Amino acid sequence: MSRRMQMSKFLLGQISAKLWCRNLLHQPVRSMGSKSALFPAIANAADYPQQAVLEELKMPFSRAMIGNFFQERPKLGNQFLEDAMLQSYLKRHLPPVVLEEVSQDLDRFSQRLVEEIDALGRECELNPPKLQQYDAWGRRVDDIVTCSAWKRMKNISAEEGLIAEAYERKYSSWSRLIQVVKLYLYFPSSGFFNCPLAMTDGAAKVIESLGTPTPLQNAFRHLTSRNPNHFWTSGQWMTERRGGSDVEGTETVARLQEDGTHTLHGYKWFTSATDSDMTLTLGRTIDEHGNTVQGTRGLSLFYLELRDAEGKLNGIEVQRLKDKLGTRQVPTAELLLDGAKSLMISPEGRGVASISNMLTITRIHNTIGAAGSMRRVINLGREYAAKRFAFGKLLQDHPLHIQTIARMEVEARGAFLLLMETARLLGLEETNLATEQDQHLLRLLTPVAKLYTGKQALAVVSEGLESFGGQGYMEDTGLPALLRDAQVLTIWEGTTNILSLDVLRSVIKSQGQVLTAFFSATEDKLQAALEVPDLSKSANITLQALQQLKEFTKNAGLKGGSYMELSARDFSYSLAKIYIGSLLLEHAAWPGASDTDKYCAQRWSQQELCPVYKAEASGSYNSEAQVLDKQLVYERSPLTKGKL
Ligand SMILES: Cc1cc2nc3c(=O)[nH]c(=O)nc-3n(C[C@H](O)[C@H](O)[C@H](O)COP(=O)(O)OP(=O)(O)OC[C@H]3O[C@@H](n4cnc5c(N)ncnc54)[C@H](O)[C@@H]3O)c2cc1C
């Protein structure tokens, strides 16, 4: 078939679309200039049978070529009003007066997200920060140039009290939970401004837990301000080239000055939000003979402001901005500290212990990001399913497609409840209302929630992108950024393995008390569900999994450190799955729960809830398994040269 004939067939096909013809006939005809210029392929149309039809329709050529069908895009709705689990959770937990007030604010904020903030977030993604190292006259300036939308995010964060809410404690212990809900709604639209907010929140928490000493009162006021002109953000500089997971290798040294301050000398390998106003960082004090104390015992915590009153950097050189897979909106840099003036704010040698409060907060922020990303991709995916046709019907009418999204929904609801639980416990602790059991649970659940939800977010967001078909892969839909950004949730603030080891540490340090708290809280949560006919089977399955976990803990405790270490990841997953199961069942047993709440809890309990028990039975943690794992990984690797 000649090219002209092919064109003719294509155009006929287009014309036969009745709807399209009708629309076109009612459209005003634009001035089209010379026909041959617009229709080069059929300029010589005497022998071209469709030309008369085209003439009659006055069809603009470009429209004919690209076709008439355009898929309607998924629209972002009011994320507060559309979130069934969030609504029912708040209704179940908040006192009615607080619920009323807070709901109004969250509704308003969510509308602002749709009308203003979401577009700013996209702008941040499209205009990543740049480093301008020198000015026109060759002077080193190290300016980090961020877009106006990024700056606007800082103002919005202050206006909305995204940090202040938690520290004003207007609603007592509920203030923390309400702040977390607001951040959860904000996260996917924030252009990753949530990253500096996480560290800002962490810094405020550290300062508050140190009793807000006089030299830090000003900083605390800035960090928790609702006034955009006063609001500060903070960094958290822990990672050096030798390690982020293992801060023992920290090389930065701190020299005591006559005025009692210290100057810092070192190289920070990852510093996000380098445009922040202040930071907390670790350094090793050095005496006049150049001696330092090695190990984490030699590390202290330091406070410094990044720029002086004239805007000059405080003994800091920005070496370069990192070229990252995602979180491109965030200026993550490598910094040389070359005499940065700082204040030691922990007792000497207690740096790691003192910064742990910051890690609790940033890990909860990570969980916020995980739950928020899952929610966003699902809500957009279900919107799309109601607009996209395939095989003669909407995607929402293909049960297999909806089953796929429903599985994501179960995961997202579980993650949300685990997030709320840690926020609730944190709120209680911050207002001195936490029992001993609450405190142990918070210690245990913070790393569990971070590691589990970070991993699940990546899986759910990836599945979510697939639910858009090819469009999920297209950069200009904004969807791929969700996936790129989700990858970081498993890495920063502690990787999955490092946090699993932290879970073990919490068990050992508390001499098992965190586990006793876990077992008892889980059993309590399951009580009501055991009495509900639709839920009792699932509650019993969860209790059985809890029993398996208890058995594993008893056995593994006798087998020594390396056995426990090898099981750490599966152990943490088991804690997460069992606890989420109990949270879903507790929620479903609430008299105000819906049928979908019950269905969701039942679905959760149908998975393997105690993977550590099964893996132990198959010998996964034995010393032989350790050897075989290594052989499997390094088989034929030139590194081993046949020796393992
Ligand atoms: C975008 C981005 C921004 C960042 N921003 C900051 C920031 O602002 N401030 C900051 O301080 N840091 C920041 N980081 C650094 C981040 O926190 C670290 O990269 C992270 O904690 C991992 O540390 P590492 O890179 O040293 O990895 P490594 O410690 O080298 O780990 C490599 C791998 O080995 C595994 N592993 C290590 N030790 C063990 C073990 N004992 N048992 C089992 N497995 C183990 C880890 O799980 C990991 O998979 C940022 C990182 C990224 C990607």
Rounded CA-CA distance 484/544 in Å is 38
* CB crowding 250-263: b at 16 or more within 10 Å, else e: bebbbbeeeeebbb
The number of the ligand 1 atom at minimal distance from the alpha carbon of 242 is 26
C-alpha dist (Å) from residue 483 to 122, 406, 409: 14, 19, 17
Rounded CA-CA distance 415/436 in Å is 24
Residue of minimum CA distance from atom 39 in ligand 1: 498
Six token digits for residue 343: 């204040």
Among 201, 206, 245, 328, residue to substitute to test ligand 1 (most atoms within 8 Å of Cβ): 245
* CB crowding 458-492: b at 16 or more within 10 Å, else e: bebbebbbebbeebbeeeebbbbbbbbbbbbbbeb
Taking 70 as the threshold, does the pLDDT of residue 642 lie above it? Answer: no
HSE at residue 561, side-chain half, CA atoms within 13 A, is 3
Residue holding tokens 């939308």?
149
Rounded CA-CA distance 547/311 in Å is 60
The number of the ligand 1 atom at minimal distance from the alpha carbon of 498 is 47
Residue of minimum CA distance from atom 23 in ligand 1: 244
The number of the ligand 1 atom at minimal distance from the alpha carbon of 324 is 1
The number of the ligand 1 atom at minimal distance from the alpha carbon of 495 is 47
pLDDT band at residue 62 using 50, 70 and 90 as cut-offs: low
Tell me, in angstroms, the distance from the centre of ligand 1 to residue 270's CA: 10
Rounded CA-CA distance 34/2 in Å is 25
Residue of minimum CA distance from atom 16 in ligand 1: 492
Rounded CA-CA distance 309/307 in Å is 7
Residue holding tokens 């890990």?
363
- In this prediction the pTM is 0.91
Find all residues with CB under 8 Å of 640, minimum gap 6, and list them. Answer: 634
Tell me, in angstroms, the distance from the centre of ligand 1 to residue 458's CA: 17
What is the tens place of the pLDDT at every residue in 78-109? 999 999 999 999 999 999 999 999 999 999 99
Q: What is the mean pLDDT of residues 283-300?
A: 91
What is the tens place of the pLDDT at every residue in 211-263? 999 999 999 999 999 999 999 999 999 999 998 899 999 999 999 999 999 99
Taking 50 as the threshold, does the pLDDT of residue 4 lie above it? Answer: no
Contact 173/431 with Cβ under 8 angstroms? yes
Spell out the SS3 assignment of 404-468: HHHHHHHHHHHHHHHHHHHHHHHHHHHCCCCCHHHHHHHHHHHHHHHHHHHHHHHHHHHHHHHCC
Q: Which residue has the higher pLDDT, 640 or 139?
A: 139
Of the listed ranges 13-27, 71-85, 537-551, the one predicted with least confidence: 13-27
pLDDT band at residue 40 using 50, 70 and 90 as cut-offs: very low
What domains appear along the chain, each with residue ranges and CATH number? 3-66 (no CATH), 355-627 (1.20.140.10)
Among 239, 246, 565, 633, residue to substitute to test ligand 1 (most atoms within 8 Å of Cβ): 239
Six token digits for residue 118: 């979401």
Tell me, in angstroms, the distance from the centre of ligand 1 to residue 13's CA: 57
The number of the ligand 1 atom at minimal distance from the alpha carbon of 239 is 11
pLDDT above 70 covers a percentage of the chain that reads 89
Tell me, in angstroms, the distance from the centre of ligand 1 to residue 452's CA: 16
C-alpha dist (Å) from residue 93 to 106, 367, 525, 535: 16, 20, 14, 21
The string of DSSP letters for 50-83 reads: THHHHHHHT--HHHHHH-S--PPPPPP--TTTT-
Residue of minimum CA distance from atom 25 in ligand 1: 244
The number of the ligand 1 atom at minimal distance from the alpha carbon of 330 is 1
Tell me, in angstroms, the distance from the centre of ligand 1 to residue 493's CA: 8
Find all residues with CB under 8 Å of 370, minimum gap 6, and list them. Answer: 415, 419, 453, 454, 456, 457, 486, 489
Among 271, 280, 332, 492, residue to substitute to test ligand 1 (most atoms within 8 Å of Cβ): 492
The number of the ligand 1 atom at minimal distance from the alpha carbon of 243 is 26
Tell me, in angstroms, the distance from the centre of ligand 1 to residue 339's CA: 26
Pairing of strands 278-286, 253-256: parallel
What is the tens place of the pLDDT at every residue in 495-543? 999 999 999 999 999 999 999 999 999 999 999 999 999 999 999 999 9
Residues lining ligand 1, CB < 6 A?
A: 235-239, 243-246, 270-272, 324, 327, 332, 488, 491-492, 494-495, 497-498, 501
What is the tens place of the pLDDT at every residue in 329-372? 999 999 999 999 999 999 999 999 999 999 999 999 999 999 99
Spell out the SS3 assignment of 311-326: CCECCEEEEEECCCCC
